[in-house]
Structure 1
Amino acid sequence: MKIIINAISANTGGIVTYTSNLIEYIGREDLDAIIYVPRTFNAGLIESPNVTVKKVPVKRFFGPIHRFLWEQIFWRKIVKKSGADILYSSANYGVLFPPIKQVLLVQGEIYLNPVYRDKVLPKLPISEQISAFLRRNLMLFSARHSSITIFPSEVALNAALDYGPDIAENSVVNYLGVGDRFAATESRREWRQDGQLELLYVSVFYPHKDPVTLAEASRLLNDQGLPTKIRITMEAHDFDPWPSSRNELTALTSDRYADCVNIGRIEHQQLTDALKSYDAFVFPSMAETFGFPMVEAMRAGIPLIVSDIPIHREICGDAALYFKLSDPVDLAARIKELDGSASLRATLIDRAKKRAVNQFSWEKHISALRGSLDSVFAPKKIRVLINALHARTGGGVTYLRNMLPLLARDPMLEVHLCAHEDQQDVLPKAIDNIEYHFLRFERGFWKVLLREQIDLPKLARRLRADITFSPANYGPIFAPNSVVMLRNAVSVGFVERRPVKLAYWALLFVATLVSLAASKRAIAVSNYASRVGTGFMWDWTRSKVAIIPHGVDGRFRVNRKVKRNENTILAVSDIYVQKNFKNL
């Protein structure tokens, strides 16, 4: 299997961590991978014979619109020419109409988070709110055009389903991992070994990161007589894209926190050693989709104190202390609680290490990712919705009675049948591997035609049907991948003389032509049916019409032992004008 990976967003934060580990661990799989990264990405240490890392062939993107257009046009061409079987888009958005099957990872779409939506987004400029709306819908549109969408947590998945419940069927949760290097515990700092409490918060700045709550908690602790210093790994330039958050930078660098707050980046490669040099790890963020720094701290064996939000509960479980969101007083109380109990610290560290190893390993993530890729690469069942609304008598019922058991036995088909509730005694029932959908409405000629055009497309989209098959001359115009069967001789109208019946056959002929024009393919039971059914559109539609004659059940083979009455003629048919019983 050959895959092409879009990691073009790997500039800062968790996506860099993810991409670095993805390259390392996917190189151990039996996969041929091409990974595109930004020009700033350090790929110098990558050594894998089956992983090729390429820099994106553009110097810089001039804003999100330029990036979006480049990916949808030029990146799509790169993917198409790559010869890959699957495109793995690892940063929230994908190709909207991918030329090959696509797997999408949504790992940083914080705009979906309900806490972010309620507490952070309303405070941002209107331009950022519009951007959030566009990004959210771009993610959902990308998910709808992906074979599988992966979320790093249940919280992230449920947040997306609040906006797009239709993506649930093809969405999975696959926890991210933490590198083995974080397991090193040699030369760890003793608790308050110099009489001072050293706390660490690892994050770049975004409006939901809430660093001031931690700064204020440290101020309170110092004022209460517990010497405390904190390190926040943010840089002043992190705040530049967020003018509405400049007040937070002003606060962090003010005289109030001058003796207890240090800000400044710690490079990810140095983070392993840095975690040994602090007493506790604090994560006051208001919203996350996963939280790489928490998992890395858990694996490193440093006790955690985190804000009490659903994602932190999901990731940390009982391996952390929790404080009320954006409450520095409660945070200070939790820090003092941890300071006062060596047994609590030991318990949290032990739980955190086990949880990180058991739930958040890169081996598990890559194994699950490989499973997703394999499931996409493997042949999938074709989901067929059969429109049986018109099968009440005659050949329509006979056709379904013979075909449904055969379709149900095909291992590559998932068959759904839609009919009216009054057809339950007419159609074959209780066939394994066929799911029945009966519509309830007052039966009537015009009502059936109308409901067919409304209810069938809705059902097809809800089921995510690959094909909508109407074994009659006409079917729902707006159903996805419609296939119709031309089996009724609409030329009957030429021998009909009754006005009402003439109108019926004329309507049937028009409905056939419209359905044929809207369909992807058509099946004709004979060459005659194809030409009569398509009428003047034959030259235009012949490429989409396949001639497939009906079959006959094996029970109708000749039995020469039976004595026949030569003076008896049996005529089997419903009564229609074209059957010519008068001459018979």
Structure 2
Amino acid sequence: MVRDVLLARGGASGAASGLGRAHHDLVKALDSNNIEGYAIGGVIEHELGGNPATRINRRWRSHPKRVQNSLVMMDLLHITDQEQAHLVPENCPIPVSVTVHDLFHLFPRITEGVEVGEQKPGKIRKKDLEKLHAGLARADLLICDSNTTLMEVKEHYPDVNSICVPLGLTLEERNPESNPLSKPSWLEGEGKHLLLVGSEEPRKRLEFAIRACRGLSGTILHKIGAESNSDAEKQLKALAAAHGVDLRWQGRVSEGELQAAWQHADGLLFPSIAEGFGYPPLEAMAGGCRVLVADVGSANEIPSTASLLPVDDVMAWNRAIKGLPTGRCAESLKRSERFSSQKFAQKMAKAFDSLF
């Protein structure tokens, strides 16, 4: 028996962001019949943009109603991220699951002196948070990307069933042995080429990564990210110049170019102190790239312990970067096999099965 799954989210964001990537990968897995016993019955989403009044009306009224009206002939409703949990219908006639990537936007905190999440939300966000909490409490199953998030979910929503299903990647297309890609031109030249991938949000701690490279002659930092902010770019470049660090701002690159970079870069620096899952370390490892990751959840669940570094010890990072070998890393490739798209699909099938 094959059950039809209705996927729902808010704005139709692309795969460049973590939330967008996870949504699109789940759509692909269902559409390709990789999640045994389940098929995609439809995707409910809306266009991005609009004035504030339009966005609020759509988010709180018209879009939830649209989801409610689309349940006919469906066996399961799955909300693809926690920021859309308000879409969980009241008294839903079919089981409802929600993917929970993280809770730091729903429960803001200060970690290592960095504000994570909106510390003083306004009236609209407060009302939105109430709706999100109520939606999560109405769900039948909360599917978490990491054990770190699962522990938080169990603390805040103890009456809702929850499970950990780590995200996965299609490893074959990223493997430098089965699918070798040409080196991007900006990675040419002598030196140790390291990547910083992601936005400039304070929780990513790009400043820390720059300070950790101080005094390391021949080390080149390449900043990659679709969410680049011009003010943050100026500040980070100024900081790098002050510390004598060679920072090269690549900004947005194509998915293919990023995959090629993973295959040819010498390492990824990932000092982030708040992640739902942490795609960049896994993507890097799948390309045979070494990673240095802050030892804090959830990103510390992906690499081996040898790749984890103290969150606040900049000199430990400096020494690790200095001693980082160049070239392909067989250990990274081996470790990434734990997070294949096949294993993700198998675990999602078991999670969905638990609802019936």
TM-score of the aligned structures, taking structure 1 as reference length: 0.51
Distance 1:258 1:265, change over 3 A: farther
Q: 2:12, 2:192 → 1: CA distance?
A: 34
* Number of aligned positions between the proteins: 334
Structure 2 residue 79 is the aligned partner of structure 1 residue 79 = no
Match of 2:163 in 1: 172
Structure 2 residue 354 is the aligned partner of structure 1 residue 361 = no
Q: 1:198, 1:17 → 2: CA distance?
A: 26
Q: 1:232, 1:129 → 2: CA distance?
A: 36
Deviations 1:147-169 (A, max 9, x none): 111001110111233333333xx
Paired residue type of 1:364: K
Larger % of helix: which? 1
Deviations 1:352-392 (A, max 9, x none): 322221x211112122212222332x3xxxxxxxxxxxxxx
Q: Which residue, out of 282, 292, 301, partners 1:314?
A: 301
Distance 1:259 1:59, change over 3 A: closer
SS at match of 1:126: coil
Q: 1:259, 1:328 → 2: CA distance?
A: 14
Distance 1:258 1:8, change over 3 A: farther
Q: Which residue, out of 181, 201, 204, partners 1:209?
A: 204
Match of 1:159 in 2: 152
Q: Which residue, out of 113, 118, 128, partners 1:119?
A: 113
Match of 1:199 in 2: 194
Higher relative contact order, structure no. (Cα contacts within 8 Å, ≥ 6 residues apart):
2
Structure 2 residue 100 is the aligned partner of structure 1 residue 110 = no
Match of 2:40 in 1: 33
Paired residue type of 2:156: Y
SS at match of 1:33: strand
Instruction: Please show how residues 82-97 of structure 1 align to structure 2 within 5 Å.
Output: 82-92=72-82, 93-94=84-85, 95-96=87-88, 97=90
Q: Which residue, out of 194, 218, 221, partners 1:230?
A: 221
CA positional deviation for 1:227: 1.1
Paired residue type of 1:251: Q
Match of 1:150 in 2: 143
CA positional deviation for 1:286: 1.1
Q: 2:282, 2:32 → 1: CA distance?
A: 23
Structure 2 residue 173 is the aligned partner of structure 1 residue 184 = no
CA positional deviation for 1:74: 2.8
SS at match of 2:121: helix
Distance 1:163 1:297, change over 3 A: same
Contact 2:222 2:248 in 1 (8 A): yes
CA positional deviation for 1:116: 5.0
Deviations 1:432-474 (A, max 9, x none): xxxxxxxxxxxxxxxxxxxxxxxxxxxxxxxxxxxxxxxxxxx
Rg larger for? 1
Match of 2:288 in 1: 301
Match of 2:311 in 1: 325
Distance 1:118 1:210, change over 3 A: closer
Q: 1:330, 1:312 → 2: CA distance?
A: 18
% identical equivalent positions: 20
Structure 2 residue 26 is the aligned partner of structure 1 residue 16 = no
Match of 2:215 in 1: 220
Q: 2:64, 2:9 → 1: CA distance?
A: 17
Instruction: Give the gaps of 5 or more residues in structure 2.
Output: none
Deviates more, 1:134-143 or 1:91-100: 134-143
SS at match of 1:253: helix
Q: 2:316, 2:10 → 1: CA distance?
A: 40
Distance 1:10 1:271, change over 3 A: farther
CA positional deviation for 1:135: 6.1
Distance 1:129 1:307, change over 3 A: farther
Contact 1:211 1:232 in 2 (8 A): no
